[in-house]
Amino acid sequence: MNRTSRHRIFVRMFLRPLLVRRGPVLTAVAAVMVAAAVSTATLNLYTDVQAKLRREFRSYGANVVVTAKPGFLPDDALARVDAAIGNRGVAIPLAFAVARTASGAPVVVAGVDFDRARRLNTWWSVTSWPSTPGAALFGKRAYGSLAPGGGALDLKFERHSVRVIPAGILSTGGDEDSRIYLSLGDFTRWTGLVPSTIEIGVTGSPAEIQSIVANLGRALPHAEVQPIRQMVEGETRVLGKTRATLLASTAIIILTAALCMLATLTASVFDRRKDFAVMRALGASQRNIVALFAAEAGAIGCAGAVLGYALGLGIAAWIGQANFHASVSPRFVVLPEVLAGSVVLAILSALAPISLLQKVQPATILRGE
Amino acid sequence: MFCRLLYQSFHRQRRRKLLAGIAIALGVAVTTAMIAVAADIGDKINRELRTYGANLVVYPDSDTLDVKIGGVDLKPPADGAYLKEADLPAIKSTFWRHNILGFAPFLPATVRATAGGRTQEVELLGTWFAHAFRYGSESFTTGVEMTNPWWKVQGAWPADDSNDILIGEALAARMNLHPGGTIEVNGRELKITGTLSAGTAENQQIVAPIRVAQETLGRPGAVRRVLVSALTKPEDELARRGTANPKSLSPEVYDRWYCSPYAASIAYQLMEVIPHSRAEQIRQVAQNEGVVLSRIKGLMLLVTLAALLASALAVSAAMATAIFERRHEIGLMKALGAGNSSVAALFFTEAGLLALIAGTAGFLIGVVLAQEIGIWIFNSRVAIEPVLFPVVLVIALIVAMAGSAASIRRAVRFSPAIVLRGDA
């Protein structure tokens, strides 16, 4: 037999079972597919979920605060902060003054950018946001004790007075409840004070936040830039535990899927022990048989892996949509891992029964024992 | 006859039964572990979220407005009302006392601090560090060490019955003070046991046992506010109705609201036990907990579903293979006159029995697996609901039966002659 005809026979023997024994082959492909799909979905989620959860954590508000060392921040401080954080977060400038009411009671009045505050401080429960000049957001306790009827209130800071109208009530359960918030423009016109604090919510890993803090420090050399430990630490801990849980689940799921695939493929090769015996009886060499079965298993593994990969991306996208209302971006990095894993496992599961069968005489197998 | 067939099938075909059984046990183990972990993750993450600090605050009802900027209290000490320190242990008598993981009272005072010949006006914050008290027959230790886990101390925490203090790291650097040194506060010599690294405000403060602050102000037993760290349930429709006005609820709804660990209902109960107080949820912490918790729970639920799907497919594939291998047997039975229904009944019974036995074993393995995950990640055991056992068994039964159904139907359709000749 020359080389070409040997090749032709090999290809024929490789292709025939795929076409003739369609049922068992489909089962094997399906097993690989499920394993690959589940692995793809969980690996994809595992890499993407962190970014998704980090975004959720930003609802806790600021995790970095910039304060003027003494006095006030430079006029372009906000622009510098915005440039330093880029699109990774939101910064809100804040100015504070202790004003007095007509009766002389002290109250903290803050100047704030309402639009930015609304974006960063999602936990603020506000009845309605002020939009007109002179309209103020009253903290719940401030409203209750200073403007219970909702009427206008006269405030005095140093020698300047101003009349504010409560436009909405803010409740947070924190210090904000005792304050009155004005728009930054109104506040500066009244008191002449400019922001002394910028609260920033940035998204990222602890290392990324550290580097943003360092950038901010360089951008604003005369200010103090500090991460809010409470926020950064809480986020790190919860994220770490969630990731670890997900990792454990991923490992378990992939292991199950791989075992299931191994069992199915091994059984399907074992089922073909008669083919194997016939080939040996007709004088096929050990290497030929191993190559044939390995090629077949490899093809099944490949087909299953590609189908499963596509299916897995779909599952991951669905989970992202259902849970985070955002798509999980497909990780193409996962493809080679899934593909290689499936093919290697498929070939292993074909070779294991072969090596067992090799110890048995073909005649014994053909007799059906 | 049926029983003998069943018995012989298990007795003679041990290897095959073992393989299918292992598949079922594995599937059930994974399912059990994932469901147990997913069901308990809410509680576990809830505890981790307590790192964010207290989610409830209690202050005097008739208090004047806070005058606080950047965490620094500017209110003159003569102003405002106080709570009584002696009322605080009653917090552990509320309905949800087991959900209250810790609380700490605070009392700020402005003092003149002298060290190294320099005198400065600084804020002294009185609190509990790890205060032990008894309520009823239970003893309890709480304070900022539990409620503010992000407070880092270099040196040692002071004892609550001492005159020792912590000094904020920024203040320590400014006044050149170190643990082991002393500082004079309003004429009293206080020993520094450690430097505190916490928030911007605390880093500029002296933190002392609350008695020291009370003596400085001349107000024994006074507390300005209490921070409470509690495990709460995310807000839902009922919680919002209750928060708006608990009195407006009908008696049954009120009971349901009162007996749910919402932040608002725990706050309501705190007001009941501490006279002349107002309790509020700190929305920044309390509200976001709900969001983060529901996301993580949702994620685990979906991953559990994926695991369930994978193990269901593994089990049904194993069952299908097992039956396909036995087509000769089916052919023989049919050739000997067995009807389709009796063959199907035998195989379904076998599948069911196998699911029950292997399912039980799988459940036990799954419980161990869940515990391992819990201890590895959260350093605590995962709570396993007993109801999980029947649920998982029923799932195993359904999956094993469903997995066998298609193969059984195909097997009984074959003509016995063809099967026995070996052509099928």
Confirm if B228 and B128 have CB atoms less than 8 A apart. Answer: no
> Would the pLDDT of B130 be above 90?
yes
The residues, ordered by sequence, that sit 6+ positions from A56 with a Cβ below 8 Å of its Cβ are A324, B291, B292, B295
Q: What is the ipTM of this complex?
A: 0.77
> Would the pLDDT of B406 be above 80?
no
Output the average pLDDT for chain A. Answer: 84
Confirm if A202 and A89 have CB atoms less than 8 A apart. Answer: yes
* CA distance to partner chain A, nearest, from residue B233 (Å): 16
Question: What tokens appear for B25 in the block?
Answer: 């046990």
CA A201, A202, A203 angle in degrees (round to 5)? 130
Continuous segment of H or E residues that includes residue B155: strand B152-155
| B 269-298 → A contacts, CB under 8 A | 280-288, 291-292, 295-296, 298
Separation CA B197–CA B167 (nearest Å): 9
Output the average pLDDT for chain B. Answer: 85
For residues B74-79, give the mean pLDDT. Answer: 70
A1 or A209: which carries more pLDDT confidence?
A209
CB contact under 8 A, A142 and B197: no
B312 or B361: which carries more pLDDT confidence?
B361
B334 touches chain A (CB under 8 A): no
CB contact under 8 A, A241 and B48: yes
* CA distance to partner chain B, nearest, from residue A289 (Å): 23
pLDDT tens digits, residue range B186-235? Answer: 888 899 999 998 877 888 899 999 999 999 888 899 999 999 999 888 88
CB contact under 8 A, B281 and A173: yes
CB contact under 8 A, B149 and A233: yes
The whole-number pLDDT of residue B51 equals 81
CB contact under 8 A, B69 and A253: no
Confirm if B192 and B164 have CB atoms less than 8 A apart. Answer: yes
> Would the pLDDT of B421 be above 80?
no
CB contact under 8 A, A49 and B299: yes
The whole-number pLDDT of residue A14 equals 75
Distances (CA, A) of A178 to A138, A144, B83, B177: 8, 9, 18, 35
Smallest Cβ distance to A123: which of B197, B284, B373?
B284
Separation CA A278–CA A293 (nearest Å): 14
CB contact under 8 A, B30 and A256: yes
The whole-number pLDDT of residue B78 equals 65
Which 3 state secondary structure label does DSSP give A227?
strand
Chain B residue numbers with beta carbons less than 8 Å from the beta carbon of A228 are 199
CB contact under 8 A, B307 and A253: yes
Residue B20 corresponds to which amino acid? A
Which of B283, B304, B311, B420 to mutate to test binding with chain A, by most A CBs within 10 Å of its CB?
B283
The whole-number pLDDT of residue B79 equals 66
Separation CA B353–CA B10 (nearest Å): 10
For residues B346-375, give the mean pLDDT. Answer: 90
Confirm if B23 and B315 have CB atoms less than 8 A apart. Answer: yes
> A96 pairs with which residues across the strands?
A110
Chain B residue numbers with beta carbons less than 8 Å from the beta carbon of A59 are 287-288, 291-292
The whole-number pLDDT of residue B127 equals 95
The whole-number pLDDT of residue B85 equals 92
Q: Helix A334-357 to helix A22-57 angle, to the nearest 10 degrees? A: 140
pLDDT tens digits, residue range A211-233? Answer: 999 999 898 888 888 888 778 88
The whole-number pLDDT of residue B226 equals 94
- Number of residue pairs across A and B with CB atoms under 8 Å? 216
- Helices of type H across A95-205: 114-120, 140-146, 184-191
Separation CA B164–CA B158 (nearest Å): 5
Which 3 state secondary structure label does DSSP give A66?
strand
Chain B residue numbers with beta carbons less than 8 Å from the beta carbon of A250 are 303
The whole-number pLDDT of residue B77 equals 65
Question: What tokens appear for A39 in the block?
Answer: 């692995």
The residues, ordered by sequence, that sit 6+ positions from A269 with a Cβ below 8 Å of its Cβ are A293, A297, A349, A350, A353, A354
pLDDT tens digits, residue range A287-314? Answer: 888 888 888 888 888 999 999 999 888 8
Rounded percentage of chain B residues whose pLDDT exceeds 70: 98
Confirm if B155 and B177 have CB atoms less than 8 A apart. Answer: no
The whole-number pLDDT of residue A369 equals 55
- DSSP letters, B177-196, are --TT-EEEETTEEEEEEEEE
pLDDT tens digits, residue range B34-64? Answer: 888 888 888 888 888 888 888 899 999 877 7
Residue A198 corresponds to which amino acid? I
The residues, ordered by sequence, that sit 6+ positions from A298 with a Cβ below 8 Å of its Cβ are A343, A346, A347
DSSP label at residue B87: G
Which of B303, B328, B420 to mutate to test binding with chain A, by most A CBs within 10 Å of its CB?
B303
